Structure 1
């Protein structure tokens, strides 16, 4: 089996969730109400994130990017992990519910990657409008109820081949369905409990050196 990696971004590659971080910085009160509705599942993840970004004006783009460049901490060992995957010719995909205009500058020094699947932003209007190019496929059972935006299981089904050993790396809600597609999950935070509840094959991690050890063990 050939390994292939699908890795989350916010809270996985980065130590904190960038969307929460920037909303707390720029529109704390308004975004908190939306976040509460998302947690209570009265609105979908997709609709909630869209509503949050519409609180920001398009001319705040540079300020938002600079804020994240100044404050975001990349999880320890990520650079070494990416280099190892490159040296071993292991396909490495970033699959994120985040947005291209801040993911790309934060990842720039670490690439190239096999692909980056995420949401996009439209700055042509007065407010930031999100665009979702990676929607659910016909097999996605959550099409009507989940509203995932960037549908990670659909991306995995599109990219992975039968001979691939699928490794999903993640931490939370947006990774739950993707984990069900994996042959091995490298999990932290909320995803650990989900894997245990569903009896999914997983290994916990705190840094990407833990992930590196898991991959080396797999391919030796």
Structure 2
């Protein structure tokens, strides 16, 4: 049986949400209202991101240096090793940005991870650019439609295990063959009566899958 692992990044692999951390560090004025409008569905990820980045003040070197301080789950590297020994396919699926993800992974010497996410990069003039190649063509709320990616991966997988914690994991949570949830996602699953396995760290996920 072919098993595929889909993993959220911010707050799941990392101990804190990199997008929130960057906003707290670099936004020049209060931004909480923008985030609240995104979480209640009033703004799409694309709209929210554009508004937030317009309020930020940083250059590539400063941003990269800040992101390198973000810590990952203490057991994530062990989890990768666990999955690779069992030939599980692993995908990071994030509604955040590849710049953040790749900077954090590189700092922790994590290589060869397949990533679906929004794109953030600096051009030759040092100005930032945003792209959303995995945006949903249906609702348009998330920059990265995790349900669409799930459906694509499901075509060549017998079982998909999803691991997440936040708002952008809500839709795909209803489809996953096995779901690990914590924080907001666990609360959402309780409200919607979606079956899930509660976890606090990747050690819990490893222990459960070993059974």
Q: Could you say whether these structures have the same fold, taking a TM-score greater than 0.5 normalized by the shorter chain as the test?
A: yes
Residue pair 2:95, 2:117 contacting (<8 A) in 1 also: yes
Q: Give the equivalent residue in structure 2 for 1:97.
A: 95
1:156 corresponds to which of 150, 161, 175: 150
Given the alignment of the two structures, is residue 200 of structure 1 paired with residue 194 of structure 2, yes or no?
yes
Matches within 5 A, 1:12-27: 12-27=12-27
Q: Give the equivalent residue in structure 1 for 2:117.
A: 118
Coordinate RMSD, CA, aligned? 1.9
User: How many Å apart are 1:148 and its aligned residue?
Assistant: 0.5
The unaligned stretches of length 5 or more in structure 2 are: none
Residue pair 1:82, 1:110 contacting (<8 A) in 2 also: no
User: How many Å apart are 1:36 and its aligned residue?
Assistant: 3.4
Cα distance between partner residues in 2 of 1:179 and 1:111? 27
Say how many residue pairs are matched: 208
Once superposed, which parts of structure 1, at least 4 consecutive aligned residues long, lie more than 4 Å away? none
Q: 1:89 to 1:33 in 2, by over 3 A?
A: same
Residue pair 1:183, 1:201 contacting (<8 A) in 2 also: no
Q: Give the equivalent residue in structure 2 for 1:140.
A: none
1:75 corresponds to which of 73, 76, 94: 73
Q: Give the equivalent residue in structure 1 for 2:59.
A: 60
Q: 1:25 to 1:168 in 2, by over 3 A?
A: same
Cα distance between partner residues in 2 of 1:39 and 1:96? 15
User: How many Å apart are 1:91 and its aligned residue?
Assistant: 0.3
User: How many Å apart are 1:74 and its aligned residue?
Assistant: 0.5
The unaligned stretches of length 5 or more in structure 1 are: 138-142
Cα distance between partner residues in 1 of 2:209 and 2:28? 39
TM-score normalised according to structure 1 size: 0.86
Q: 1:37 to 1:193 in 2, by over 3 A?
A: closer
Cα distance between partner residues in 2 of 1:42 and 1:64? 28
**Secondary structure, counterpart of 2:11 in structure 1:** coil
**Secondary structure, counterpart of 1:95 in structure 2:** strand
User: How many Å apart are 1:127 and its aligned residue?
Assistant: 4.4
Cα distance between partner residues in 2 of 1:121 and 1:167? 27
User: How many Å apart are 1:7 and its aligned residue?
Assistant: 0.2
Q: Give the equivalent residue in structure 2 for 1:106.
A: 104
